[in-house]
A = this chain, B = another copy of it.
Amino acid sequence: MMITHPFHDADGDKLREECGVFGVINAADAAAITALGLHALQHRGQEAAGITSFDGKEFYSRRGLGHVADNFSSGGAIGELPGSMAVGHVRYSTTGGAGLRNVQPLYAELASGGFAIAHNGNISNAIHLRQALVQKGAIFQSTSDTEVIIHLIATSRYPTLLDRFVDALRLVEGAYSLICTTPKRMVACRDPLGIRPLVMGKLGDAIVFASETVALDVVGAQFVREVEPGELVEVRPDGRVTSHRPFGDSNPRPCIFEHVYFSRPDSIMGGTSVYQARRQIGMELAKESPVEADLVVPVPDSGVPAAIGYAQQSGIPFELGIIRSHYVGRTFIQPSDGQRTSSVKRKHNANRALVEGKRIVLIDDSIVRGTTSLKIVEMMREAGAAEVHMRIASPPTMHSCFYGVDTPERSKLLAAKMDVDAMRDFIQADSLAFVSIDGLYRAVGTDSRKASCPQYCDACFTGDYPTTLTDHGDLEAATPPAKPVKVA
């Protein structure tokens, strides 16, 4: 959710969801529940975490770099966050010390009292709004686009906080699933297109909001429903739940990539099991792009469900031809004869005894820059594979995301630079195929894509962005804004 990052060159070769949000109201130990919930959403943002609680009198906040477990598993940490209302956030951040002031929830003391906000998504006119606010005398403490929302609320002329909040949101464009707290209520809301997910659950008398249903499962809450696109749900300490629809109607376009990669397979997204959608993508792929082979091998772990589907559809045995180490993280110093090894090898190792002499169908979820695919294919060949056929459980990723997903700049997306044949040559596979956009739509349980009014946001595959992109006039070639002061 950094204004500065949309073109950040990630060192991994995956798109990265940038945030997960969680909130609970009317629960004893709200912070402990929030810590568990954020832990279940850790895959949505692994570099920083924060929780803000309210105990009826004061707000308490704790934010830290690193995993939820590093910051919020101790009794001491939770003990500093008293109260029956809490909101939390996990995020993927760019780097180091600079980040702490951008770690959410953000907090401000407004004239109406304290206000905490956790945001999943990205505001695509944040730079323009920020410049106008600074001209009027606003002083920003972070480089986060989310802070724009707070300043818009602070300077709105409407009398009530809820009106000011809606007034602020009317000015922003882009994707936002928000959970906010004031001394008198928790408010959860989702942008009119519902680009990023947000669900509501029930835990005894408490109401819970979370990015994915898996967080409800882990804290023991029951799924109630999704927060609807364009809906604003207000929950008060006395338990009253009020739904507001301040933005009128619009056709929702939730992010389809949540089904392909971001969400956990045990989540239910838009009424569909993520695991089953992925397995179904594998089946579509087997129908669309069959191949004669001995083994179906997933690139672990994200390729597993589609590989199971491909194997079931094709009848070719599913086998673990690549073993993934769970002890990955830091970069090691390469020995000077390091050409023999690589970071891919530390993470993935060929199951040589299995692969040797076999024709392999490799299943992965997506190709971003292609560097990892190249190494995985090479690893299979070194292990003696007779043929390597790559099948990808998404269409070619050709466009950047401006709605809260970390994408490399367009010029680094392999599919933006070459066609499928060239890509096959680049990764040195014997064959390469992607699932079709319609196959993907079918797999997630809808009809084929309606070109006039698509059911999902699929801009990363199609370039069809559902909102204007004010800050990115020269589409996908924007220069990052000047970097403000670095504060330790």
Contacts and interface: CB of A to CB of B under 8 A. Distances in A.
Interface of A: 27-29, 32-33, 35-36, 39-40, 42-43, 46, 52, 58-64, 67-70, 72-75, 78, 80, 107-111, 114, 134-141, 150-151, 154-156, 203-204, 214, 217-220, 264-266, 268, 273, 275-276, 279, 301, 304-305, 308, 312, 317-320, 323, 325-338, 340-341, 345-346, 349-354, 482-488
Contacts of A308: 318-320
B137 A138 contact: yes
A365 to B, nearest CB: 15
A218 B336 CA distance: 15
A309 B42 CA distance: 32
Contacts of A340: 203, 219-220
A394 to B, nearest CB: 19
Contacts of A266: 323, 349-352
Binding site secondary structure of chain A: mixed
B333 A485 contact: no
Given A138-B137, A323-B265, A351-B273, A332 B28 contact: no
Given A139-B154, A326-B326, A487-B63, A273 B353 contact: yes
Contact of A139 (B62, B63, B139, B333): B139
A69 to B, nearest CB: 4
Contact of A333 (B73, B140, B150): B73
Given A64-B488, A308-B318, A333 B35 contact: yes
A80 B273 CA distance: 49
A91 to B, nearest CB: 14
A345 B111 CA distance: 42
B349 A61 contact: no
27 contacts: A29-B335, A32-B332, A32-B333, A32-B334, A39-B327, A42-B327, A52-B485, A58-B482, A59-B486, A61-B488, A69-B329, A73-B330, A73-B331, A108-B140, A111-B135, A139-B139, A141-B141, A203-B337, A204-B337, A218-B341, A265-B323, A266-B352, A273-B351, A275-B320, A275-B353, A276-B353, A318-B318
A328 B39 CA distance: 9
**Total copies of the chain:** 4
A109 B137 contact: no
Contact of A74 (B135, B264, B275, B333): B333
Contacts of A329: 69
Contacts of A317: 312
B265 A320 contact: yes
B320 A305 contact: yes
Contact of A109 (B108, B484, B488): B484
Give 10 closest A-B pairs by Cβ, nearest first: A220-B340, A273-B353, A137-B155, A29-B335, A266-B323, A73-B330, A42-B327, A141-B141, A137-B154, A59-B485
Nearest to A379: B217
A123 B428 CA distance: 51
Counting chain B CB atoms within 10 Å of each CB, which of A43, A351, A483 scores highest?
A: A351
Nearest to A59: B485
Nearest to A266: B323
A337 to B, nearest CB: 6
B107 A485 contact: yes
A346 B43 CA distance: 13
Given A151-B139, A214-B349, A40 B325 contact: yes
Nearest to A276: B353
A141 B138 CA distance: 12
A174 B64 CA distance: 37
A86 B338 CA distance: 17
Given A323-B264, A335-B33, A40 B487 contact: no
Contact of A73 (B75, B332, B484): B332
Given A43-B327, A60-B485, A265-B351, 7 more contacts: A27-B335, A40-B349, A69-B328, A69-B330, A72-B332, A204-B337, A218-B341
B134 A151 contact: no
Contacts of A108: 139-140
Contacts of A335: 27-29, 32-33, 36, 219
B337 A61 contact: no
Nearest to A50: B488
Contacts of A214: 323, 349
